[in-house]
Amino acid sequence: MSPLELDFDSCYRAVSARDARFDGRFYTAVTTTRIYCRPICPARTPSSRNVRFYRHAASAEAAGFRPCKRCRPELSPGDPGWDVRGDLVGRALRLIDDGAADDDGVAGLAKRLHITERHLHRLFVAELGVGPLAVARTKRLLLAKQLLTETGLPVTEVAFASGFGSVRQFNATMRETYGFTPSELRATAGPRVSDATLRLRLHRREPYDMDGVFAFLAARAIPGLEEATRTSYARAVPGGTITLTPRRDHIALDVAVDDTRQLARIVARCRRLLDLDADPGAIAEILGETSIGPLVAARPGLRVPGAFDGFELAVRAVVGQQISVAGARTLLGRIVARAPGPLFPTPAELLDTDLTGLGLTNRRIATLKHLAAHLADGHIDLDGGQDPAEAVAALLEVPGIGPWTASYIALRALRDPDAWPTGDLVLKKRMACLGIPDDHIERWRPWRAYAALHLWSAS
């Protein structure tokens, strides 16, 4: 099924089979009940004459359907079709996930994408049938629904945590869209985690290589900022901490922050960090038929670990040039210790931070300062607003950043599934040991980033 088109027969077969591969790709709306569901909903499959299919939950809600309380559409993994696209709609959806529309409105979202608000609306309607405002509202409602169902967070805090400007607006929107108030939903939600704990479930597509992802993050955890093992990952975020722990069928996200209004952004960034929205079946279908097929078979569900913050990842890449992973961790820990507060410095903060005496060369310090300046003035956007190719080109203009560094940033921060770390010595050695010619790299498109991880992970 095309990422842009919904074929009725294909969708109906997927729903009839409760095929988990299609979870998050589309939603099934039932005209007799006015409810929309995930393809994996355990309810009896409705008659084909009573169903409609929608690409996005917002499209179903705009048509007057409300989310199923049984299969809970708010738990769907993201549509992987958008994850491989660097176009305006794909980038806008990632920014909406990151809370950009909640912070600055649709006008601010369009400005960040360097287009007019009218053009952005036209693109969304053409692709999804609804505008960006409707998509942002649905994201808020579904997050609120998850918070009301899974946590003991007070209704007032749920309203602000999910991006609403007031409790009155929250109540009115939920009643208008779903037909019940937040309090009514909570009364029927069943047992929840204690009020002292803010824990959410982050669902993923299977198979998922948990050991590989958490081991990768543990090996690169920055002292003073992150604590990671093969079974958990924790880090400081503005106003508190988060912890990610793998479970049998999801990732548990524990959040302890002063301001819950950043919750939507935290959820989106954790999903990117752990690459939860990837489609392992589509990746294996291409890579499994190539020269690295045995590696793919040995590590089903391998993911490309992303980044919680684009600038942080770019600094990691620059500091890690031509030194060991352990050496880079040490230097990055010193940068965090030198910066104000327990967090990784922002571009503006790094510009004001004295980086001498930390073990960095003068040339490396100059590169970091140039990089910070480019992000501080908006010339480079590594958190989803800029076309990946344009961002890479802008990175290459920074003195001291070459093709390998720019490609590595694209692979992890920009979430480009086809990024290839040009000139990586480990990849060259692994390919030589396996007898893989250089021209095979082109055969791994559009999943070269995953091919790189398979080769890096090969023993």
> How far is Cα 275 from Cα 208, in angstroms, rounded to an integer?
9
The residue behind tokens 């006015």 is 34
Q: Considering only CA atoms, which of 274, 315, 264, 311 is closest in space to residue 414?
A: 311
Q: What is the DSSP string of 265-281?
A: HHHHHHHHHTTTT--HH
Q: How far apart are CA 222 and CA 242, in angstroms?
A: 15
CA 73 – CA 218 distance, rounded (Å): 32
The answer to whether residue 424 is catalytic is yes
* Selected catalytic residue, list 37, 68, 71, 270: 37
Mind giving me the DSSP string for 409-455? HHHHTS--TT---TT-HHHHHHHHHTT--GGGGGGGTT-HHHHHHHH
Q: What is the 3-state secondary structure (H, E, C) of 315-350?
A: HHHHHCCCCCHHHHHHHHHHHHHHCCCCCCCCHHHH
Q: Name the active-site residue from 97, 102, 416, 424.
A: 424
Tell me, yes or no, if 11 is annotated catalytic: no
324 Cβ contact list (under 8 Å, min separation 6): none
Does residue 58 contact residue 130 with C-beta atoms inside 8 Å?
yes
Cα R_g (the chain), whole angstroms? 22
Any idea which residue has 């409602």 for tokens?
141
Residue 238 has φ and ψ, to the nearest 5°, of -55, 120
Provide the token pair at 56. 């996005």
Catalytic residues: 37, 424
